[in-house]
Amino acid sequence: MTMTPHVDVRGLCVTVRAPDGSPLRIVDNVSFAIPRSEVLALIGESGSGKTTIALSLMGYARGGARISGQITVGEATLDGAGDKGLAAQRGHRITYVAQSAAAAFNPSRRVIEQVIEPALIHGTATDAQARARAVELFAALALPNPQTIGSRYPHELSGGQLQRLMAAMALITRPDLVIFDEPTTALDVTTQVEVLQAFRKVVREQGATGVYVSHDLAVVAQMADQVLVLNRGTVREQNAVRAVLEAPADDYTRTLLAAAQPVLKTVVPVAVKPAPLLSISGIHAGYGSIDRQGRPAHPVLSDVSLTVPRGGAVGVIGESGSGKSTVARVVAGLLAPTAGEVVLDGQTLAASLSERGREELRRIQIVFQNADVALNPAHSVGDILGRVLRFYHGMSGRAATARVAELLDLIRLPSAVAGRRCDELSGGQKQRVNLARALAANPDVILCDEVTSALDTVVREAILDLLAELRRDLGVAYLFISHDIATVKALCDEIVVLYKGTRVESGQSGTYNAPPYHPYTDLLISSVPELRTDWLSGVGPKATPQLGAVTDDAGLCRFLPRCPVAIAGRCDTSPPPLRLMDAGNAVLCHRTESELAH
Amino acid sequence: MANLIRRATRLPLPGKIGLALVLFWIVIAVIGPWIAPYPPGSFVNEEVFAGSSRAYWLGSDFLGRDVLSRLVSGARFTVGLSAIAVTIAASIGTGLALTAAVGPRWLDELLSRAMDTLISIPSKIFALVLVAAFGSSMALLTLIIAITYIPGNFRIARSLAVGLAKLDYVEVARARGEGRLHLAVVEILPNILKPLFADIGLRFVFIVLLLSGLSFLGLGLQPPDADLGSLVRENTSGLAEGALAIIAPAAAIASLTVGVNLLIDAATQGKAE
């Protein structure tokens, strides 16, 4: 039985005009076919054209771009179809799940109205039928309370829930093709697992045909049947997902695979000087007005302590809302803690910025996640670095210019970059300049707040290598904050795990290779997708024991509501003890070492 | 300078037209009194509301004065007063806005509420009361107009600056230990200039219109001085006969305001360099 492919793309090119007016092909001669009920993954770095290809499957090109080639989806031919023909396809036969569902929902309308809208617009179902199908899809996507969740507003739902609701919206018209555009990239790893499982289940049950756009090979391994590896708009490799993972045929695929598991090329000798450089102890902090007991309206951190040795690297991990960035803000003096102290080299630092001396400020530098907003777009790279030199070291004129060139050399950028504005640089280059600004102060410790999170895997690895090199050559210490345990393990000697502002575990990074660890650490580690296709089937939210109503007592374990190994009568009545494991890691849990080791 | 010329040549056509109109009016404002064929206050024509002729290009007004001479002399009041007033309004408004953005919270509240109070007074009534109390003078007019337009500029500049003050690059500068003046002037100000210039241009137009309106009501410049608005008012009796004396200054106001708008739209739409 020969079957024509369900989705057929031949010789797809997308052309834009380069700044000098000449035509520039951003997608060059891409052909692929997807059989019915299969998922094809488009994978590559940013700028590889993967989203452009996905959008062109809807006959859509961003301003000024031109699509050529043959595109057939189901029975419809998209090339040459006019605006009216395309409008009939979009949201009906071909649907789209965007990266940020939070930005894709209208905040002032109930979600069910938005989910059933495509069906009503295209007249595929009556209002009652569409609502019934929506509830069915909510249940299939494992959303809580499928009957009633639709009557909520977007701001009442979490990012992971919105992402699943958006998938429901995409599936409501029983489309020929669903395009998933990086739908889990913005989610925490623990949430990502749930969303991926829901997506996979619903895609299989509904027999949907899909295109899954992602930069993350491990995620793709769970979702796709076929993989198309893209680089600069051309196809590097196309094969079944297992074949790509196990026997990559192309060099570029191998680079991607290597970057998915960061291993540093630069080996840093373990800090021989155990002298503490920076230590914070008993930090309580939060936002909002402070009440009479000295507690803020929105407490974020409670009793957090950690120590960074001279030249050491300490990682802080946790999901969004764990308070990990707040730790950096407290150390930098941007947020005054309500209790606890920050000690640098034996000197207790003042809580607020204005009371710290310039020399104290110089020794601690902070680097933010998003270089796009961390570098002032009105200034040139030379101005940005030069200001730090003048401010802390009183350097100007030729000495400053020479030092700027030296700094740029340190971060592997040509000295000509000094004259450029930041918006002329690539994401990785900006992040390097962001680092160079901190280095310009000659700091003792750099607070890195998610510095690699916004970067592609390949660029991320280069930045991590740079960080390790700088540490080796300059002896600078890091407080490295990240949500990605693989990144932290690659760079840091010591790791602290935060959950809802409490330190639940701390230890040498080697102790995170195998249990025993805290149940939350266990969840974090097991949620990181692995490069094998059967990984997703093996993990799953473990059933949490039913414990009656948990009082919101500050003393109790914060992880209790999500803990799969909680003990009724113990965990919900008394605060957890800090246990020291044989491997040297300290765990805040009622369970004993042998129980945690499973 | 060369940079400015390069940017001017890169403007789209409407922007070039706007630039030409604005330059034209600036030149007229500067050299007006020297190119006026007759003294602006003298009665030179027997006929009132005369049409265009070789001796009187734009005809004569309701007293038989030369309209062209009065127009080129009046332009300097309209362009000059408006430019000075908008500069004062924008400097004070943006200055206070930056203070509010980098200063303590209570100061922001205080300034914002004070501006809300000021903005709730209707501008024409405000001007009427002050002119009635102190009499009309050029300095007072400029001051009244400047005060009227401070709150609007403050609000726009403050909302832009407060948004930027939370951005990471300002946080980094704060963490470095930079003073508030540096945060405001070096980190924030350059990034709000573009939308601010759009706002300033609009306000310039509003001021031209307010000044013309005040003159039309007789509260603006006092005779024999006349800005473009006064010229329209004093010749209203010629409206019925479609006299050039009323059309010419009205067209002058229109071309100035349209020119400024075209220029600003074109100049602020381009990509950030």
B128, two tokens: 């009427």
- What residue of A is the nearest CA neighbor of B192? A378
Q: Which two tokens stand for residue B176?
A: 């470095």
- Stated length of chain A: 598
Q: Which residues of B touch A (CB under 8 A)?
A: 167-169, 171-172, 174-178, 186-187, 190-191, 272-273
Q: What is the Cα–Cα distance from A386 to A199, expressed in whole angstroms?
A: 49
User: How is residue A569 written in tokens?
Assistant: 């009568």
**Cα dist from B122 to A265, A517, B117, B157, whole Å:** 69, 68, 11, 21
Decide if A376 and B178 are in contact by the 8 Å CB cutoff: no
| Phi, psi dihedrals of residue B100, rounded to the nearest 5° | -65, -35
Distance (Å, rounded) from C-alpha A323 to C-alpha A302?
9
Verify whether the Cβ–Cβ distance A374 to B187 is below 8 Å: no
A333 three-state secondary structure: coil
CA distance A332 to B174: 10
Contacts made by residues A136-142, CB under 8 angstroms, sequence distance 24+:
A137/A167, A137/A168, A137/A171, A137/A172, A137/A202, A138/A165, A138/A168, A140/A198, A140/A201, A140/A202, A140/A205, A140/A206, A141/A165, A141/A167, A141/A168, A141/A198, A141/A199, A141/A201, A141/A202, A142/A194, A142/A197, A142/A198, A142/A201
Interchain CB contacts (distance < 8 Å): A and B: 49
Residue A558 sits at the chain B interface (C-beta within 8 Å): no
Distance CA B61, CA B237 (A): 10
Token duo for residue A565: 């190994």
Cis amide prior to B224 (ω within 30 degrees): yes
Tens of pLDDT along B24-83?
A: 888 888 887 788 777 777 777 777 777 777 777 777 777 778 888 888 888 888 888 888
B175:A361 CB<8 A: yes
Say yes or no: A479 contacts chain B, CB-CB below 8 A: no
Q: What residue type is assigned to position A369 of the chain? A: Q
HSE-up of A480 (CA within 13 Å, CB side)? 30
Q: Quick check: A361 contacting B, CB < 8 Å?
A: yes
Cβ-contact B172, B228 below 8 angstroms: no
Q: Look up residue A303 and give its two tokens.
A: 């009793």
Strand order from edge to edge, sheet including A7-17: A23-34, A7-17, A66-73, A76-77
Secondary structure (DSSP) of B43-102: B--SSTT----SSSTT-B-TTSBBHHHHHHHHHHHHHHHHHHHHHHHHHHHHHHHHHHHH
By C-alpha distance, the chain B residue nearest A358 is B177
Whole-angstrom distance, CA of residue A120 vs CA of residue A527: 38
* Beta-strand relationship, A586-588 and A502-508: antiparallel
In this prediction the ipTM stands at 0.77
Residue A430 region, left (φ>0) first, then alpha (ψ -120 to 50), else beta? alpha
DSSP state of A577: P
Please report, in tens digits, the pLDDT of each residue of chain A (598 residues total): 345 778 888 888 888 887 777 888 888 889 999 988 889 999 988 778 888 888 888 888 777 788 888 888 887 887 777 778 888 888 888 999 988 877 889 988 999 999 999 999 888 889 999 999 999 999 888 888 888 888 888 888 888 888 889 989 998 988 889 999 888 887 888 888 888 888 888 888 888 889 999 888 888 888 889 999 998 888 999 989 888 888 888 888 888 888 777 666 666 665 556 678 899 998 999 888 888 777 888 888 888 999 999 888 999 998 888 888 899 999 999 888 998 999 998 889 988 888 898 899 999 999 988 888 889 988 999 999 999 999 999 988 899 999 999 999 988 888 888 888 888 888 888 888 999 999 999 999 999 998 888 787 778 888 888 899 888 888 899 999 998 888 888 889 899 999 988 999 998 888 888 888 888 998 888 888 888 888 887 776 566 666 655 555 567 888 888 888 888 888 888 888 888 888 888 888 888 888 887 6
Q: Give the distance, in angstroms, between the CA of residue B235 and the centroid of all CA atoms in the same chain.
A: 23
Is the Cβ of A423 closer than 8 Å to some Cβ of chain B? yes
Determine, for residues B191 and A375 on separate chains, whether the beta-carbon distance falls below 8 Å: no
- Alpha-carbon gap: A216 to the closest alpha carbon of chain B (Å): 27
A373–B191 CB contact, under 8 Å: no
**What is residue A554's DSSP assignment?**
T
Of A361, A374, A423, the CB nearest to B169: A374
Instruction: Give CA–CA dist B232/A539, Å, rounded.
Output: 81
For B251-273, the pLDDT digits (tens) are 888 898 889 888 888 877 654 43
Residues A330 and A337: beta-carbon distance below 8 Å: yes
Quote the pTM value. Answer: 0.81
> What are the residues facing A212 on neighbouring strands?
A41, A180
Q: Which residues of B touch A376 (CB under 8 A)?
A: 169, 187, 190-191
Least CB-CB distance to B272: which of A375, A377, A391? A377
Unique residue bearing structure tokens 């630092």: A349
Instruction: For residue A313, list its beta bridge partners.
Output: A478
| Chain B residues touching A331 at Cβ < 8 A | none
